[in-house]
Amino acid sequence: MYAAVLPNRQGPPLFIVFRRRLGSGGMRLGSSWRWQLSRAMKLALRWCRPCRLQKGGWVGGSKGLIGHRLSKLWMYIKLLLRSLYYNSLTNSDTLLDCAFEPVYWIVDNVTHCFGVVFVCLVVLLTSSVVIIVYLFVLPTIFTTYPMHWTAWHLCCGHWLLILVVFHYYKATTTTPGYPPKDKCDVPSVSICKKCITPKPPRTHHCSICNVCILKMDHHCPWLNNCVGHMNHRYFFSFCLYMTLGCIYCSISSRNLFLEAYNAIETSFQTPPDHSPRESVAYKCIIFLWVLTSSVAVALGGLTLWHAKLISRGETSVERHINRKEARRLQEKGKVFRNPYHHGRLNNWKLFFGVETRSHWLTRVLLPSSHLPSGDGITWDCTYTRSDPVAI
């Protein structure tokens, strides 16, 4: 064991201890943890020391020197704190996401817990509309409409009802599609930070289901399921035919609604001259028209939005990503191209799985459980490798 004394211009002499390592021919410092401990102690003493060596003697530190040391200590602490969270890629969007993370957590958990409630609500409201139509609307159609109009209402109404029930059942029970986890040769563009597994193109992580989804569009609480590659067609078809069904019910019951509304309004001014059964019928007709008209407007807007996305070959998630990428490339004087856009008509054919003309009838206008085009892992792209794309 050897000790060496070294002069130190900023403090008392430093004592450095050397130890000969048996079996080796050189000198080295002590063990790593001892060196780290001595380093930390020396740093702490350096910051806390109120004096400094000046011209061979010790003098008391002034207030300015103490303030200077405190400011340097504060800067050092800030540097340590920033090293825990700072990222050169951090921007305002990242900060907002971090600020709203508790809100996202609450929404995700509430949506996950109340998914079954939303599904039951859809079933209950749809069933109530069907019951009201069978009890009050169809008898009126049978007694007042001619034969050909009656046949048309029966065929159109039941066709829409079958399509709505079929596509809603398939959308809720069909898995959206998950990337394989037991294969190593899956083409991927990144690694999921939550699943720690490769992510194929167009695959995104659902925070509610806590799993990656192939060609994820969004998580629908009314389905209690994610909308992905395997059930995207069922979801859109349900929205489309539910909107058409609500429009049909709203138009068909318009005259009955006006009659029921006038009767209810008159009953508030004069004693009612209708029976209790007629009063219940009037209220049911009003409920039917208000519900179907409201759903037609709200769901119709959602259906038009998704139709626009399908025409562009995008999903809801990709829409936001592509917009950011387009703005970024525009600043550099470049033009963004969506690699999954094959033209509007071809996008619709790929979405519905239409390969022949007869498929527009058998796969779009009639219930069909055929699989979507592709496996959701590899995609046909319309760009070369040198083109800028968003992943």
Q: What is the CA radius of gyration of the chain?
A: 35
The structure tokens 């179907």 sit at 292
Q: Is 220 a catalytic residue?
A: yes
The one catalytic residue among 220, 239, 246, 284? 220
Which residues are catalytically annotated?
A: 220
